[in-house]
Amino acid sequence: MSYVDEVYEKVVAKNPAEPEFHQAVKEVLDSLRPVIEANEEKYRREALLERLVEPDRQFKFRVPWVDDQGQVQVNTGYRVQFNNSIGPYKGGLRLHPSVNLGIIKFLGFEQIFKNSLTRLPIGGGKGGSDFDPKGKSDREVMAFCQSFMTELCKYIGADTDVPAGDIGTGAREIGYMFGQYKKIKSVYEGVLTGKGLSYGGSLARTEATGYGLLYLTQEMLKCNGHEMNGKVVAVSGSGNVAIYAAQKAQQMGAKVVTCSDSNGWVYDPEGIDVAALKEIKEVQRARLTEYKKYRPNSEYHEGRGVWTVKCDIALPCATQNELFLEDAKALVANGCIAVAEGANMPTTMDATEYLQKNGVLFAPGKAANAGGVATSALEMSQNSERLSWTFEEVDGKLQQIMVNIFHNLDDAAKRYGKEGDYVAGANIAGFEKVAEAMIAQGVC
Ligand code: NDP
Ligand code: 2IT
């Protein structure tokens, strides 16, 4: 059996009931076949793949807090420190009832390669909790965040592990967590990114993932003879990534006609009103059913259905495994030319294969959504030098990083005879730097 297949089998056997982690590992290992096969004996002796798929360490802890009725609630917290061969662990904190160890491990594993692709000095990690911020008062969210950080603060630090936002964790949650870290440790340091601007946050971090997604998509289109201007775009999700992806797509001259949340989706044939979306989601923290009040000509549908709308470009920006084979078939039948993942692993493996086989340009999340973590790394730089850069400076660096990432994957794919396969390109380019650093640092 090949080394790659052997390692994958071991991962499944050693980590049962973690299907998302298996999926993320399989996609990466399948892409790495040509790289590993070219040097199989060396990698096998180094046990490089075994070391890569085993987190450095993982923490699982109790998070007790008191709700507004005086009832004690208990959630489970996680932090997986996956790989710090190229820099301190870096990755978001997901707060969603579906969170479990397998989901955090899949996200942490993806983060290793994503962070490597940014070419900035950040390793891979991820954390979170099964806490659901939806419907909670600000005081309840604060109580949870303080309890979560009371334990998490033992394992993180500006040069050790720097968490940030993800699903359910935005500026409010980061603020409460930062306050608690500072109170316990008495250290004012850049231990979290995505902070508010008044206490060490970076301009453009809020916009960065969505904007970065569009900068990379535009470069991919340009290199394949297309442009964003005039395109019809379907976006899923209506959170941080979706909102700023829609905004930048519109600034580039495209028309975004959909968005969604976990209850339903909106079709707005005249183009999504981003200001209304921001008001509903960022200010009111309400559901998408409210959107029709702002745009009477739009349609709201219960359930899923974004990918059935005719579009040129699809940007899944909600969560993992939200674009299935049947969706891929609908997109291809409707003439879609490009799919770029704003979320982490939103496209199932069979859907990805179908899109690629049918000539759809496909940018995987670990490249396409890397603008968020890249700008987090820029926030870390600003915190270290105790200075803040202008919006234009940060945004300019972000654009350059996203363009470089695209060319980095494009080149890696070509080097291994896989021209246009940006999934393989991203995995190979991300792996090369990490593998080199791991080997240089010896067996550890
Ligand atoms: P938010 O919490 O701001 O928004 C998430 C959006 O996705 C909401 O519209 C939410 O709907 C929807 N959603 C979440 N879970 C589900 C689900 N199980 N089924 C259907 N819809 C769901 O998160 P972000 O925008 O920050 O994150 C979106 C994706 O982007 C995630 O995959 C995240 O890992 C990834 N990402 C985020 C980055 C960042 O900087 N924030 C960076 C890189 C990637 P509802 O409100 O109903 O739950
Ligand atoms: O998935 C991701 O890259 C994020 N949630 C952002 C991580 C970060 O450290 O900014």
Amino acid 231: pLDDT? 98
Distance separating alpha carbons of residues 229 and 221, to the nearest angstrom: 11
Ligand at minimal distance from the CA of 379 is 2
Structural contact between residues 192 and 170, judged by C-beta atoms closer than 8 angstroms: no
Amino acid 129: pLDDT? 99
Helix, strand, coil proportions of the chain in percent (round to 5)? 50, 15, 30
List the domain boundaries for the chain: 55-189, 206-368
Amino acid 441: pLDDT? 98
Q: Ligand 1: residues within 6 Å at CB?
A: 96, 98, 165-168, 209, 237-242, 261-263, 317-319, 342-344, 369, 372
Beta carbon of 90 within 6 Å of any ligand 2 atom: yes
pLDDT tens-digit series, residues 199-240: 999 999 999 999 999 999 999 999 999 999 999 999 999 999
Ligand at minimal distance from the CA of 90 is 2
pLDDT tens-digit series, residues 290-310: 999 999 999 999 999 999 999
* Average pLDDT score over residue span 233-261: 98
Q: Torsion angle, CA of 281/287/289/294, rounded to 10 degrees?
A: -20
Nearest ligand 2 atom to the CA of 115 is 3
* Average pLDDT score over residue span 314-330: 98
Same fold, 55-189 and 206-368: yes
Catalytic, 126? Answer yes
Which is catalytic among the residues 126, 136, 231, 397?
126
Amino acid 95: pLDDT? 98
Nearest ligand 1 atom to the CA of 107 is 34
pLDDT tens-digit series, residues 110-132: 999 999 999 999 999 999 999 99
Output the residue whose Cα is nearest ligand 1's atom 22: 262
Nearest CA to 212 out of 394, 87, 425 is that of 394
Q: Say how many Å lie between the CA of residue 186 and the centre of ligand 1.
A: 32
**What residue spans of 54-170 are helical by DSSP H?**
101-117, 138-152
Q: Say how many Å lie between the CA of residue 421 and the centre of ligand 1.
A: 26
Amino acid 243: pLDDT? 98
Amino acid 117: pLDDT? 98
* Average pLDDT score over residue span 242-260: 98
CATH architecture of the domain with range 55-189: 3-Layer(aba) Sandwich (3.40)
* Average pLDDT score over residue span 169-179: 98
Top-tier CATH class for 206-368: alpha beta
Confidence of residue 430 (pLDDT cuts 50, 70, 90): very high
Q: Say how many Å lie between the CA of residue 413 and the centre of ligand 2.
A: 25
3-state SS record for 249-283: HHHCCCEEEEEECCCEEEECCCCCCHHHHHHHHHH
Q: Would the pTM count as exceeding 0.75? A: yes
Ligand at minimal distance from the CA of 168 is 1
- Candidate from 134, 240, 300 with most ligand 1 atoms within 8 A of CB, to mutate: 240
